[in-house]
Structures are given as structure tokens and as C-alpha cells.
Amino acid sequence: MISCNSLALRFSESSSENKFEVLDQTLLPHEEKWLVIESTEQMIEAIKMLRVRGAPLIGVAAALQVAQAALQGFTKTELLKKAQALYEARPTAVNLMNCIDRMKAVIETGADKNKILQTAVDIFNEDVQLCDRIATFGAELIQDGDQILTHCNTGGLATVGVGTALGVILKAHQQGKKIHVWVDETRPLLQGGRLTTWELQKHKIPYTLITDNMAAHLMSEGKISKAIVGSDRIAQNGDFANKIGTYSVAVNCKFHNIPFYVAAPFTTVDFNCVSGKHIPIEQRAASEVISTWAPKDSPVYNPSFDVTPATLTTGWIMDTGVFNHKNIEQGVFRK
């Protein structure tokens, strides 16, 4: 029997059945409901509706669904078609494309269902391991007494390991460092307010929830000593895309002379993307902004991500080490 289990994903395969479930993150923190995934169409819907979210988690979940389809007996041609549909489910997170490219490469060889499944399991296990390495490298940058600002959700709900930016914070907490986390609520869908708080409570890490536009005020009062965020795609020059509002955090950190770090797996680097100007930005539904308080016919601009220039970034915390501006200039993110 093969099984892959994380905070947000459960997959098992045996001689009698295969079962795939994902935690519906749109219902957190008030309800923990697991959705049974039985088709590519279900997985695509879950990804688009942010039931499954976080660049690493999306990639792993999509890879496992391709494996599930192989176990269901679909042909090579059908599997490639399903893989391509998953590849196109969301435009910004390069992890999704990377994972699906690996699955497609194995399918192209004519591999049997067991080989396809093993590739997906390898992708799962690699994510667990790289999250541990990110956390270990990043925790060295955290000092006892640090007040850390986060943006969006970057923990076990965004990966199948301990997370990226939140994994760094968890590791520092486990090391006994007394830290406090300021949590931006973060649009879209208030993923900091709903998800990061939920994870921090589970780990018993002290935190305070704030709206996104309060961060600069706290910085001016000396209440934030570091900011650590995640990323969905990093360009060759170090520019990176993350949830909308990250750019504002970086600008405010620069003005207040506060270290600003991005934590992400090396697989987040897009070697074909020269700079942040070339990163596609997903537009979300107007209804997410209008909600119950604005006129229903209000014009809405609702990008899901923004791009933070490398010039505003103190360091890149990755599973291969911590990189600085000199490393970037030397082409560490180029093949």
C-alpha cells in the first residue's frame, strides 16, 4: 500500500482501492471538511476555487490526480490530455507547471500505472524534504524576541510539508525562540486571517491578526523586526510573484529598514522568465471584492498576485540555501 498524507491532502493506493481527499480550505477555520477527488474535473475545480491552494500543494495535488487517473485505467493519450488541463488550471504558480511536466514526461515514455504513481509519490516526498530544508535555513535568520510579519498562508496548508515562510517560523518556535507573528489578513479570500491563524493556533505560536493596511503603522512604531513571505514564481533576476499586497509590504520594509525575506522552494524559479514583468498575473472574480457592502455593479480590479522587485528583497530562503543580491547577480537563478 502507498499513502501520502499531509495537513491538507490524503492519498492512498492499495490492491482494492485508491482514495484521494483534499481539505476544503475555503471553509476554514470554521469547518474542516475533506473532499473526495475522483476526477480531473473535480481537481481543476478545487484548484480554481482555492479549495486547494498554495503553489507547492497545487503542484503535488495535480500530480497525484494524474496518478489517480492512471490507476483508473485511462490511456496514454487521455492521461496527457488530463495533465494538460491541470497544467492550465491556474496561470501564476510555476510549481504546477513543473510537476505536470514531470508527469507528462513519464507518461510519454509509455510507463505503466505503477511508474506514473511512483513519480507522483516522489514529487510528494520531495516537497516534504525541501520544506524541512527551507525551515532549517530560514530559522537561522530568526532571533529570540523577533516580531515577524507574514502575508498570505505559507504553511502546511500551502505545501505537503511544514511550509515555506510559515515553516521557517514554526522551526524557530520549535527551537525555543520566543517570537510573535503579525498576520496580514490577505486578499483574496483572507487567506492569512482564515488559514495562517488556524495553523498558528494549532502550533501554539503567539500571533496577532491585522488588516493589510496596518503593517506600515506597526513598522513605524518599531513593532515589526522582520517580514517573511512566500512566492508562487521567481524570475531569473530575483523578482517574484506572491499574493497581492506583498509589494506593499516590501516597500514599507525598505522605508523602515526592516529585513524582508522570501521563502520558497528552488522549484519556484522559472528559468524561462527573465524578470517579474513576464510573470502572468491571475485576475479573480469581482464578487470577492464586492461582497455584501459595495454596489453590485461596481467596476472591480482584482489581481490575485503582485510582483516584488528583487531590489526590495533582503534574501531568498530556499531549500538549497539562503541567497543574497550578489548570488542573484552571479546568476544563481539561471540554468
Active centre residues (catalytic): 232
CB neighbours of 217 closer than 8 A, spacing ≥ 6? none
User: Residue 120 carries which side chain, given as an amino acid letter?
Assistant: A
Q: How many helices (H) and strands (E) does the chain have?
A: 12, 14
Spatial distance between the Cα atoms of 199 and 181, rounded to a whole number of angstroms: 12
Spatial distance between the Cα atoms of 241 and 305, rounded to a whole number of angstroms: 6
What is the helix (H) or strand (E) element at residue 36, kind and residue range?
A: strand 34-36
Q: For the chain, where are the alpha helices, taking DSSP H only?
A: 40-48, 55-71, 76-87, 94-108, 113-139, 165-174, 191, 197-203, 215-220, 246-256, 287-290, 325-329
Spatial distance between the Cα atoms of 191 and 255, rounded to a whole number of angstroms: 26
Distances in whole angstroms, Cα of residue 266 to Cα of each of 67, 131, 142? 24, 11, 21
CA nearest 62: which of 28, 85, 78, 81? 85
Cell numbers found for residue 272: 524561462
Chain mean position to CA 68: 22
User: Residue 62 carries which side chain, given as an amino acid letter?
Assistant: A
What is the helix (H) or strand (E) element at residue 3, kind and residue range?
A: strand 2-5
Spatial distance between the Cα atoms of 119 and 130, rounded to a whole number of angstroms: 16
* R_g over Cα of the chain: 19
Burial of residue 290 (number of CB atoms within 10 Å: 0-12, 13-18, 19+): middle
